[in-house]
Chains A and B, each alone.
Chain A
C-alpha cells in the first residue's frame, strides 16, 4: 500500500511568487493534516481536513495560505505571495476514521529567496 506522498520534494522560489504544494494521503484516509517546520522552530500544525471539509484551520498563519481538498482525496496548499519567512519544510499526514495514528509524508522543503 502506498504511503502519504508529497510533491514537490523541494521548491525554490523568489519572494512574491506563488507555490502550490500537493499531498496525496493514504487511500481511504478521511483525515488529512498539514504541518510545517520553519527554521529553528518546532513543527506547527496548520490545518486538518475531514474529507473535503476544513475541520480545524486554526494553525494557518495568514491569508496568504490557502488549502483545498476538492473531492476529499488529495490536498493542495498554496502560498501566494510567498515571503521569506515561509521557508521551511511542509509535512502532510493522514489518518483513518477516528484513529489518532497519523502517517506522514516525506515533506516538501520550501525555500523562498
Chain B
C-alpha cells in the first residue's frame, strides 16, 4: 500500500462541473503539496498547505491533518484544466517528496 493514495485515478467531467480530487496519506507530515502535470509533461506546483484551506483562482485545496486527508477542488471546470493532478508529502523532516499516483482529469467542452 502506498503511503499516499489518490482517488479517483481517472475523472472525466463536462465543462462547468465542480471537481473534487482526494488524497489520503499514512505518514505524519508537515505540509502537503498539490501539483499539476500537463500533457506536455511539465509539473507545476499548485499549493503547499499544512492546515485549513487555500484558494487560488478556481482552485481550492483543503487539508484535515487529524484525518490525514486532503482534497483539491476545481470550480467551474474548463477544458484547459485537463491534466494530471498529483499530491505529494515530504518524508518526515526531509525535503524528499513521496508522490501519489496522480488523478488524470479530462474536462470535455
Contact = CB atoms under 8 A, between A and B. Distances in A.
Is the pairing of A and B real?
Answer: yes
Interface of A: 31, 33, 35, 42-45, 48, 55-56, 58-59, 89, 91, 93, 95, 100-107, 109
A103 B45 CA distance: 7
Contacts of B35: 104
Interface residues of B, number: 26
A102 B43 CA distance: 10
Q: Interface SS of chain A: helix, strand, loop or mixed?
A: strand
Contact of A101 (B4, B48, B96, B100): B48
Contacts of B101: 42
Given A42-B2, A56-B94, A95-B95, A100 B40 contact: no
A48 B100 contact: no
Closest 6 CB pairs of A and B: A104-B43, A43-B99, A106-B42, A45-B96, A42-B99, A107-B41
Interface of B: 2, 4, 30-31, 33, 35, 40-45, 48, 86, 88, 90-91, 94-102
A104 B94 CA distance: 18
Given A102-B45, A107-B41, 8 more contacts: A33-B96, A35-B99, A48-B94, A56-B96, A100-B33, A101-B45, A105-B42, A106-B41
Contacts of A56: 94-96
B43 A58 contact: no
A56 B42 CA distance: 24
Contacts of B98: 45
